[in-house]
Chains A and B, each alone.
Chain A
Amino acid sequence: MAIPARRRIADVVAFVFATAATVFGLFWLAWILWITFREGAAALTPSLFTQMTPPPGSSGGILNALYGSAVMILLGVLIGTPIGVAAGTYLAEHGRYTRIAAAVSFINDILLSAPSIVIGLFIYELVVRNAGHFSGFAGALSLAIILLPIVVRTTQESLLLIPDTMREAGFALGMPRWRVTRQILYKAAMSAILTGILLGIARIAGETAPLLFTALNNQFWSANLNAPLANLPVVIFQYAMSPYDEWHTLAWAGAFVLTAFVLLLNILVRLIARKGKQ
């Protein structure tokens, strides 16, 4: 029985539309990446990694910004990860099926998508205003808050994936629950939790909004966490918005470094995760 022409045409239209939508999505990815790599590759110089951010009109590098970003990301991970793993453990283990765990799980998902600029304002109110000055430490704290819900979520999910028979085996050996969690469950979930942390690092590496009024920026080399700290995203923002060509070039170079880092981390994590599954 032949399908009437009108229905067949509707089907073809849907087919073409779905294909076009996918091409549309991939098109932007290709365009943005191509521009970033073209402009960034042209701006790459050795001095990028050896010199400090310059004043307008002269050349320089982004060494201080790279250092500041690395320190804040590291500190953010050191603060956010233990709390996140502990909270995720509660949601999946001791607190499973409790109302409080359901509430935390719900709120955590909202924090996961909450506007990061509000988190910057929060840390400003909490830390910067009380301290009286911007600081790298405040920047690291805001990154930790953005990382936290990611770690909570992945910890919870990867622990829930572990079959209960593993827990029961531990209990049957007379192990107390905390030992079962630490010595059996964390071992089994380790790679999944690490994957989550790496994805979290990729996310906070590019976060700009929460650093604007916590770490601010610093044109000079500074390792002082109690003072404004240079960082890659804010340098890119300020230099891109400036009217100077040299700064635009540096902003593209920074954008290239940042994008390459984030994409490589994402792809690496997915390759590892796929290998783990096989």
Chain B
Amino acid sequence: MSASAASLDQRPIVKSGASADRTFQLITAGAAWFVLILLAGIAASMAWGGRLAFKTFGWRFVTSPDWDAVGGHFGALVPIYGTLVTSAIALLIAVPVSIGIALFLTDIAPRWTRGPIAIAIELLAAIPSIIYGMWGLFVFAPFMAAHVEPWLSDHLGGNAIVGPLFSGPPIGIGMLTAGIVLGIMVIPFIAAVAREVFSAVPAPLRESAVALGSTRWEVLRSVTLPYTRSAMIGAIFLGLGRALGETMAVTFVLGNAHDLSASLLMPSNSIAAAIANEFTEADTDLYRSSLIALGFLLFVVTFIVLSIAKLLLMRINKQMGRTH
């Protein structure tokens, strides 16, 4: 670097600056393009790797529940269903909890505790997902099997409407456990955005509501939530994107079963868990291609979900006067 700088210095200043500038700009622009090419490359290689499965099965790949490695039939309905159900459970838990945490951190907590509590919640996101998985398998699933699931099947299993969701043996491993673990994992992501946008609500708006006699709950319901609605939906989609693609924690507690079952207490599968469990065992081209096709589906769905999240969050950033 220093040698080239020295040789450049002998040329007229303006010219040397211009040509070195162009080189520098080309390098950085190339790196930026690399990010775009990388994403396109990932999508293309998933589509290419999965082409055999898509060609062989067509639409049946996403509508058929048969996943038979020996017979060579691969339908992804069970992993798709499991992914959607566990993510839905995760959001049902994480969204209200995250809003509560954001409210607590912006309105209720004593000022000096806000920083440490926010960091502790952020640390939930720092714990590697494999640790969630181990804890889930060795501690949380047995806990669910011993205490929560028997109660659920006793009290709700006989119910005409929700009964089928809670029937079956309490084995701990299953969609409910996986959904709860996922919920815990996405709380920090949703809570961080919620807290940020809550504290960005203009003070005059909130103060006006208070001056009109609103209680804290009424300020949240009638001012803060409506004002931050699009950003909150963005935050929820961000959490959804995380939940859909989460692999290791789910792999541990979902049970890798390829049976379609309405009960949340039964083992199931998810797209990411199926890939993690079976990819190194896939011994035929069609098997491997089917798993990569699953990866393609996962990538496309998370891309759409995360794009929606980003678009919604960009809007609030603009409102808050930020350009990036």
B-binding residues in A (CB < 8 A): 1, 3, 7-8, 10-11, 13-15, 17-22, 24-26, 28-29, 31-33, 35-36, 39, 83-84, 86-87, 89-91, 93-95, 100-101, 103-111, 113-119, 121-122, 124-126, 145, 148-149, 152, 156-157, 160, 174-179, 181, 202-203, 205-209, 212-213, 216, 233, 236-237, 240-241, 248, 251-252, 255, 258-259, 262-263, 266-267, 270
Contact = CB atoms under 8 A, between A and B. Distances in A.
- Mostly, the B contact residues are helix
Interface centre among A10, A103, A110, A266 (most CB of B within 10 A): A110
Contact of A90 (B31, B39, B130): B31
Given A3-B213, A29-B124, A212-B276, A111 B39 contact: yes
Contact of B120 (A17, A26, A126, A255): A26
B127 A262 contact: yes
23 contacts: A7-B215, A14-B103, A21-B97, A21-B100, A26-B120, A31-B139, A32-B131, A36-B131, A36-B135, A89-B31, A95-B29, A114-B303, A115-B245, A115-B302, A118-B46, A121-B292, A122-B45, A160-B323, A176-B18, A176-B20, A207-B128, A248-B138, A259-B128
Nearest to A104: B32
B127 A94 contact: no
Interface string B84-101: 000000000000111111
B290 to A, nearest CB: 12
A116 B291 CA distance: 15
B36 interface: yes
Contacts of A3: 213, 215
B120 to A, nearest CB: 6
Contacts of B241: 113
B41 A209 contact: no
Given A179-B17, A259-B131, A263-B127, 4 more contacts: A118-B302, A178-B25, A206-B127, A240-B138
Interface of B: 13, 16-18, 20-21, 23-25, 27-36, 38-39, 41-42, 45-46, 48-49, 96-101, 103-105, 107-109, 117, 119-124, 126-135, 137-139, 184, 187-188, 191, 213, 215-218, 220, 238, 241-242, 244-248, 251-252, 272, 275-276, 279-280, 291-292, 295, 298-299, 302-303, 306-307, 310, 323-324
A91 B32 contact: yes
A182 to B, nearest CB: 8
B44 to A, nearest CB: 10
Contacts of B291: 121
B84 to A, nearest CB: 15
A232 to B, nearest CB: 9
B36 A125 contact: no
Given A32-B135, A176-B16, A119 B128 contact: no
A206 B133 CA distance: 12
Given A24-B97, A35-B139, A117-B276, A178 B134 contact: no
A69 B303 CA distance: 29
A117 B242 CA distance: 12
A174 B12 CA distance: 12
Contacts of B275: 117, 121
B108 A19 contact: yes
Contacts of B120: 25-26, 29
B24 A181 contact: yes
Contacts, number: 289
Nearest to A239: B134
B126 A113 contact: no
A22 B104 contact: yes
Nearest to A234: B130
Contacts of B97: 21, 24-25
A47 B80 CA distance: 43
A20 B103 CA distance: 11
Contact of A174 (B13, B131, B213, B292): B13
Given A18-B108, A21-B101, A114-B299, A233 B128 contact: yes
A205 B248 CA distance: 14
Given A101-B32, A160-B324, A178-B20, A145 B128 contact: no
Contacts of A101: 32
A58 to B, nearest CB: 21
Nearest to A261: B128
B217 A25 contact: no
Given A18-B107, A109-B306, A263-B126, A25 B187 contact: yes
Given A113-B302, A212-B279, A125 B127 contact: no
Contacts of A236: 130, 134
B143 to A, nearest CB: 10
B187 A262 contact: no
Nearest to B299: A118
A206 B129 contact: yes
A249 B17 CA distance: 61
Contact of A262 (B13, B30, B126): B126
